[in-house]
Every structure is written in C-alpha cells, then in structure tokens.
Amino acid sequence: MQWETVIGLEIHAQLTTRSKIFSGASTAFGAAPNTQACQVDLALPGVLPVLNRGAVERAIKFGLAIGARLNRTNVFARKNYFYPDLPKGYQISQFELPIVEGGSIDIQVGGAVKTIRLTRAHLEEDAGKSLHEDFHGMSGIDLNRAGTPLLEIVSEPDMRSAKEAVAYAKALHTLVTWIGICDGNMQEGSFRMDANVSVRPKGQAEFGTRREIKNLNSFRFLEQAIDYEVRWQIERIEDGHEIQQATVLFDPDTGETRMMRTKEDAHDYRYFPDPDLLPVKLDETLIADTQAHMPELPQARQARYKTEFGLSTYDAASLTSSRAMADYFEAVATALPKPDPKLAANWVMGDLTAALNKVEMDLDDSPITAPLLAKLLARIQDGTLSGKLAKQVFEVMWGEGGEPDAIIEARGLKQMSDSGELEAIIDEVLAANAKLVEEYRAGKEKAFNALVGRVMQATRGKANPAQVNELLRARLAG
C-alpha cells in the first residue's frame, strides 16, 4: 500500500525582549541558576503579572509578516498543571483568543514552491528547568527561564514529508530572525520544534491518528525523528496494530522515538481567562507603525534578486537564508564599480561562507566586511587581480586583516598587465616545452592547457589567464 505522511509543526520561538513577559527579570541566557528569577517568577504569595509590551509588539510584527489576522482583543489564559519547574502551578498562555490567527509561509522543496498555512501564533511564558543529575537522587530547579516570552507558532497539517517539514521550519527560522523577534539560537533553546506526525493510505481523506514528537532542537533531528516515526507508524499499521494518540520523545543517540505519555494520561489543563491580566487591546497606530517599519521580507527579496539582479532561484534563495547574508550580499553588489551581482553572489556564497563555516563564525563577526569585499572584487573587475590572485588576497584579508589595495601592493600580487613582459615569458615557456608545442600542433587541446599552466606558474599566478590564453594562441598560430 502507498502511504502518505501528514505533518504539522508547533514551534516555540523565544522572543528577544530583554526582560521577561510578565516580570522585570532579565532573559539573558547562561546565568547561574535562579539568579534571574524575581519574586514574580518565583510565584511568591501575592505577586502579580504585568505584560511586557515588547512581547506584544514582536507578536504583531510576526503576524504582519505572515499576512495573518491580528486579534484586536486577545486574552491570556491559565493552563493549569503541577510540575516543580512551573512555579505558579499554571502557565500563562493564550487559548481561545490568541494574538495571531491564520497567515501562511511559502517553502521550496525540489524546486517547487508550496504554501504552508499557519493556524495561529500565541504568546506564553516559558517554564523553568528541572535538572535531574548532580543532586544525589533529588532534582534541582532553575527558574531563570521561567517567564521567558515565547511565541508558539502552530501550522496546519500541510506538510507531506520530513523534507517539507524541515523546509518549513527553516523558512520560519529565517523569518523570525529576519524580523528580529527571535535570536534563533537553537543550542540555547530559542527555537524549539514539536512535530505532529500521522500517516494515511494515499487517497484517504481523513487524517490518521497522530503522535507528537516533542522538543526537537535541530533541523537534522527534526528530519531524522519524522523519518523514523513515519516508518514506525507504517510498520505498526501494516502489522495490524492501531496507532494510539501519544506524545513521544526523540533520542538522537538511537535515532528512535519513544513514548512519553498516551492520550489517556493527558492533562485536563482547565484553561480559563487569567483574571490578573486584562484582555490585550491592540492599538491600530502600533500596528500601522509596525507595518510601516517592516523590513523587506525574505520572499520579497528573493523575488527582487531574481528580477533585479538576474540571479537564479537557487542563488536568490541561498542569499536570503538570513537577513545578515542578504544585507551583506546587497552591500557588496551595490558597491561594485560595474554591476555584477553574480560575482558578488559567488564570493558571498563561496569563499566567504566557506571561511565562516570553517571556524563556525557568524557573518556579523566576519573580519572581512562588505565594503572590504567589494573593494577586493573591484580589483577583479578592473583587471588588477585574477580570480586566483583575488583568493590569495582574500586569505590575507581573512587571516591578517587589511585593505585589499595595501595587501596587493605589499605582496606584489598585482596581475601582470604589461603584454611585452608576458610575451617574453611565453616565448621562454614555448622554448622550454617543445614537446608540448608539438603535441598541440598535432591537435591535442590538452597540451594547450598544460602550456597555459606553465605560463601561469612562471608568472607566479600574476598573469591574467584570459590574456595568457589569447597571447599563447596567437603565438602558436604564428
């Protein structure tokens, strides 16, 4: 039987506010346990929450970016359950009236564009952390994270493969970091994914029973977990079992998912509107302002890179995978003396990205800034540097810093532009390689390439390869 996979994702994006969603404590990551938990976060008797406006502004920004409906009145509710890292015994979240409803985002898989619909996005507070090691049979509780603002982004079950799920998660990751509402740091848990996965016979209209894979913190794990889960579900069904609705965890060590709890022991969260917080009323001016200050979004930029710069879909997509990269690329492309977006794209996606990846560095920290790279590329455009020489200059700029012109000058890396000098070298090379010349004349094109190589060697790479080609052909023909 042919099976179809159905996936919906719930993604928790931690918002970039400096203080928590309902208290003034800091949200900075990595502080000593319980040093960033104030009396509100500790849920002391008598304390009350006050909504952080910054969290609301970020949710509005997200809603506008995905073309969603913003609920002008939205309501915080209490989700009640007991756990030691949930100090109040309830999580303040949104239930019946979330701030954002609807909207969509486009993804590309295998060259095809697909629109994924979003169900909703709501604001909520994070819980603290339970630490089960190092406490001699007891558990430690760290409430630094308690009260950190989250936007929970829920998709419709619109994805049909792990690849699509990953593409969606990446697109969302790009978007939330692009508009600056989330730092996207997955190691620190700023972007966490839950995947609802089910399978059904191809052609069947109803969904199968789903299982939810909780708390995936990398795109690779997301893909592995879904792939495993799909195989597992199909095998179960083909073996004559029924899938039970359940929550499962993915173990990266074994690559398997395992049961956490079934629907039977699911909580009744007893949601009700939080009487400590008034319904949130969205201000039209704030919405209009946010819209007016919205940066050009990734999809719009991709389209523009294709039409305005003539880049391929692949290049346009790669360059817009983060706002930092797109901004960098555009700064380089627009600074070139002669318009050549493809040259800028190749260097940004090629040498620069490779250098950054090698040392796991963020583009923002790159020692070679966009204006510096543009200066380097300008020297290619004016013939001062060959591509090969430019790479050498790039290496020096990366390793030691400095302006390209100064490096070219100091190291004598200037491309040979005097054709007389080059012709003399060519003559020497031809004289020293009579055999190759013979072979070329006998019709071996390979011999020509070898001769070009010898000339380049003799010039220590400083010759312009195009010029070498031209002069060499003329000389051999003569």
Partner 1 sequence: MPTPTLRFLSTLLAQGKASSVELCQDYLDRIRRLNPALNAFITVDPDRTLVEAVAADALRASGRGDVLTGVPIAHKDLFCTEGWLTTCGSRMLAGFVSPYDAHVIRQCKTMGMPSLGKTNMDEFAMGSSNETSHFGPVKNPWDHARVPGGSSGGSAACVAADMAPAATGSDTGGSIRQPAALCGITGLKPTYGMVSRYGMIAFASSLDQGGPMARTAEDCGLLLNVMAGFDERDSTSLQREKEDYTRDLDKPLAGLKIGLPREFFGEGLTGDIAKAVEEAITQYRRLGAETVEVGLPNSRLSVAAYYVLAPAEASSNLSRFDGVRYGYRTPDYTDLLDMYEKTRAEGFGEEVKRRILIGTYVLSHGYYDAYYIQAQKLRRLIASDFRAAFRDCDVILGPTTPGTAFRLGERIQDPVQMYLTDIYTIAVNLAGLPGMSLPCGFDGQGLPIGMQLIGDYFGEARILNVAHQYQRVTDWHQRRPEGL
Which residues sit at the interface with partner 1, rule CB under 8 A? 39, 42-51, 78, 80, 82, 84, 87-90, 141, 268, 270-272, 275-278
Nearer to partner 1, 46 or 110 (CB): 46
- The minimum distance between CB 81 and partner 1, in angstroms, equals 9
Smallest gap from residue 142 Cβ to partner 1 (A)? 12
Which residue, among 219, 267, 249, has the nearest Cα to 11 in the 3D structure? 219
- Between CA 461 and CA 388 the distance in angstroms is 7
Query: CB 92 → partner 1: shortest distance, Å?
Result: 11
To partner 1, the closest distance from the beta carbon of 207 in angstroms equals 22
Give the shortest CB-87-to-partner 1 separation in angstroms: 6
Of the two residues 81 and 314, which places its CB atom closer to partner 1 in the complex? Answer: 81
Identify which of residues 67 and 89 has a Cβ nearer to partner 1 in the complex.
89
CA 10/CA 119 separation, integer angstroms? 10
| Tokens read off for 259 | 């049961």
Cβ nearer to partner 1, comparing 21 with 226: 21
Q: What are phi and psi of 340, to 5 degrees?
A: -155, 75
Q: For partner 1, give the closer residue by CB, 67 or 84.
A: 84
Minimum CB distance to partner 1 smaller for 32 or for 82: 82
- CA 176: distance to chain centroid? 9
Q: For residue 117, what are the β-bridge partners?
A: 104
State the nearest-atom distance from the C-beta of 30 to partner 1, in Å: 22
Q: How many Å apart are CA 33 and CA 160, to the nearest integer?
A: 41
- Mode of pairing for the β-strands spanning 211-216 and 90-94: unpaired
Q: Quote the least distance from Cβ 213 to partner 1, whole Å.
A: 24
| Distance of closest approach, residue 242 Cβ to partner 1, in angstroms | 24
Nearer to partner 1, 84 or 383 (CB): 84
Q: Are 285 and 79 in contact (CB under 8 A)?
A: no
Closest to partner 1 by CB, 84 or 255: 84
In angstroms, give the least distance from the CB of 71 to partner 1. 18
42 vs 356, which CB is nearer to partner 1?
42
Query: To the nearest whole angstrom, how small is the minimum distance from the Cβ of residue 51 to partner 1?
Result: 7
Of 83 and 314, which has the nearer Cβ to partner 1?
Answer: 83
Tell me how far apart the alpha carbons of residues 167 and 107 are, in angstroms, rounded to a whole number. 6
